[in-house]
Structure 1
């Protein structure tokens, strides 16, 4: 996994480095120069404008310029205010050829929280050193920056490179390991190889009840929700899936042909849904059930009495908001999967701008694993006895997944992953599996489907289910490529 640290944490890491600042700046500047050369497709005769501030970020830019000049690049190093003036002049002459091939943003980096006047981008590609100046390194808020084509960040990712709008402004982000010890990071970015390692296949002695998932989802008004959960769980490895939809007879429950349905009549249905629950390895409750008081009370009872790993999603999250005591009764691992609106109902307010801290605080307050959905999905466990808790970030998904039913698919995938062997695992390892499930689901958005070209239109939830197998294969291929010498 790739470490993620806040600006305050990075300052402590810098201070503890065995090498001096000059050595670290030299390595950082060299990494910027190498990326600049790649972006320009060469060096001789190329022209680069370097916006270099007074701090270490500016020093990185000046070292990069020195290296580029040795390679034949004509560099102009200026202070940030002059860089803004030069860019404004270049933008005022749209018909003229650009005066540079590249602009290096080493103006302020993580040292700025606020605007520096970069309201109009240069007419050429921008390479940012560490983070685009004007992007809050903690929250990703944009106080006016030059959007970068590429960003070289040093030692570890910063949250602002992963949280939007900062993630979009950073372009392609690459990590330059410059000799800093980031092993103590408490936040990590999940990669394809990480997800592949965490996703376990069935053992040789597996049978259909070895990875059994119980689904309580759907209703007369929302039949499709349960179908999507079941289909996703089956495609993600569940051997047996049994579904009940409150208010529907078994014959009327929407489900894949391979899933089994059981009656769940209106009223006191929690007791019936818990019959034989010990035979299952994981469960899902919530999608499409409804939020009326009767349903809410029944959901809360199921949550409190269900003895197996449980995914709590959609309408069940509203029930937790109404009956928070139901979580305290649980002994098996529990995963809540809110989007921002559901997060507000659970915690009393929307996620703070520092989403990493927000999900960490929610996991601690609720005492369960919390998966906060978004363009960057965050997974946190409650604090350990030492007071620390890990947050895992997932960035594999795209806006293509912003379709109805996408969350139902994710819940099914998580449940299937939880139905693997989790007995004896600590919450950190379980949360790694949850994050791997989210990463796997997110990768369906980037599968090449027609003529080897990845689609750009919204991806229907049913199509996401169909692409899970191909996405899983791509994770395995990426992991194998990483291991090859």
Structure 2
């Protein structure tokens, strides 16, 4: 996984570096120069403007300019005010005076505007983070949007949170000799997800990975169907569904799913019957938010003895009956979008989204998967004998294509199917949940989606169909991994 650190944490990592600052600057500047050469497509005859401030960020830029000059690039170096004036003046010319602008003006040290109201007419390469983007929150106080960013040692939250993620362009983490293993937040990659997700041992059988689903209602029959389909495609050998108020014959479900009756009214006890046979359960999608349904969902959550994914309407039930989480002994995963997060916690996610989701997990005593352009998965448990915050894993595999009705239902099924391993261990649980979210997110961009896929939304049923192809692509990230 790729470490993610706050500006404060990065300062501590810099201070603890085993080599002098000038060595780190030389390495960072060289990495910037290499990235610039790649963007320029060569060096001979190329022209570059480098905006350099007073701190280490500016020093990185000056080293990059020196390296590029040795390679034959004509470099102009200017202070931030001077670079701004040159960029504004260049807009009156018919031909841009540079092929590339390197933003080494301020980096993570700036938390406000610096006058970058007019962007250069040529691509921008940002050093560490686009100047004007808050490294903690991703807030844009005025920046030159970058085509690419070279950051050092670790990612910063502002590179992963909008609008910072868009302003940063393609991000490269350059290793320059900094030790970021103390990070409390990490970005999941394809290889990470593939290494964590369960595989099918030769001795498996259908009840080895069984998922119980309580979802759907007479008004929302499709929600339960999508949960079941997601769970089955993600590897569940047996899926059993009940929809409150629907006879088994009327429950919408995939052909292979078993349905059980669940009469309206006080149905929680009946839904818990035989629950010990299952490895995980899902509750919430499409059930409804009337007081009776909320009370029954809360009763099921409180007494369910297996790992449980709480989604959609069940999140509203938790908000109304928060005590239902406190009695739980098995793993609990809450999957709110921002509106549900606000109802659960009493406040919208803060600008420091990583910190806000981490705090919610601690307060609720459950893993919290906060959906968004960057999905954050937070553990309620701190590492043993450590003063570090509890871990947060970031998932960026999804795209806006997944913003369709039923997408969250599919995700809930995928998570539940993935919890058939040792979900009792907090670290394993966190990794499994994030890996499931990453897998689901990859359906938006996997090769099977086709070259024009990015142009259209991806319906939930299509996400189910693409899970197999997405899983194969995850496996390709580790071609030498031996599978049973």
For 1:80 and 1:454, how far apart are their aligned partners in 2?
40
Tell me the residue number matched to 1:229: 227
CA offsets per residue over residues 210-262 of structure 1, 9 Å max, x none? 10000000011111000000000000000000000011111111000000111
- Structure 1 residue matching 2:84: 3-state secondary structure: helix
Q: Is the 8 A contact 2:448 2:469 kept in 1?
A: no
SS of equivalent residue, structure 2 residue 125: strand
1:268 to 2:266 alignment = yes
The answer on whether the counterparts of 1:448 and 1:454 sit within 8 Å (CA) in structure 2 is no
Instruction: Work out the CA distance in 2 between the residues paired with 1:476 and 1:451.
Output: 19
Are 1:185 and 2:183 an aligned pair? Answer: yes
1:255 aligns with 253
Indicate if the aligned counterparts of 1:187 and 1:392 stay in contact, CA closer than 8 A.
Answer: yes
Structure 2: gaps spanning 5 or more residues: none
CA deviation digits over 1:297-317, x for unaligned, max 9?
000000000000000000000
Supply the distance in 2 between the matched residues of 1:210 and 1:183 (Cα, whole angstroms): 36
- Displacement of 1:421 in angstroms is 2.0
Q: Which residue of 2 is the match for residue 20 of structure 1?
A: 20
Partner of 1:128: 126
Alignment match, 1:75: 75
Pairwise CA distance, 1:452? 4.8
Contact 2:282 2:413 in 1 (8 A): yes
Q: Is 2:441 the counterpart of 1:439? A: no
TM-score by length of 2: 0.97
Contact 1:447 1:454 in 2 (8 A): no
Q: Say whether the 8 Å CA contact 1:193–1:482 is kept in structure 2.
A: no
Q: Which runs of 5+ in 1 are unaligned?
A: none
Give the TM-score taking structure 1 as reference length: 0.97
- On the 8 A contact 1:132/1:147 being kept in 2, the answer is yes
* Residues 336, 368 of structure 1: 8 Å contact kept: yes
Map of 1:311-330 to 2, 5 A cutoff? 311-330=309-328
Equivalent residue runs for 1:370-449 within 5 Å: 370-384=368-382, 386=386, 388-418=389-419, 420-422=420-422, 425-449=424-448
Deviation for aligned residue 1:448: 2.9
Deviation at 1:428, TM superposition (A): 1.3
**1:453 CA displacement:** 4.8
Task: Give yes or no for contact 1:217–1:225 (8 Å, CA) kept in 2.
Answer: yes
Aligned-partner SS, 1:445: coil
What's the secondary structure of 1:121's corresponding residue? Answer: coil
The answer to whether the 8 A contact 1:449-1:455 is kept is no
Quick one: distance in 1 between partners of 2:280 and 2:481? Answer: 32
Query: Residue 58 of structure 1: CA displacement?
Result: 0.4
**Following superposition, which runs of at least 4 residues in structure 1 exceed 4 angstroms of deviation?**
450-453
Quick one: structure 1 residues 77 and 193, their matched pair in 2 at CA, closer, same or farther if it must change by over 3 Å? same
Measure, in 2, the Cα distance between the counterparts of 1:314 and 1:450.
27
TM-superposed CA distance for 1:451, in Å, is 5.5
Check the 8 A contact 1:448/1:455 in 2, yes or no: no
Contact 1:101 1:124 in 2 (8 A): yes
Distance across 1 between alignment mates of 2:99 and 2:421: 54
- Select 2:276's aligned residue among 275, 278, 299: 278
Counterpart among 196, 199, 221 of residue 197 in structure 2: 199
Conserved in 2, the CA contact under 8 Å of 1:57 and 1:107?
Answer: yes
Which residue pairs with 1:459 in the alignment? 458
8 Å CA contact retained: 1:381, 1:389: yes
- Residue deviations 1:19-72 (CA, integer Å, cap 9, x gap): 111010000000000000000000011000000001100000000000000000
Matched, 1:63 2:67: no
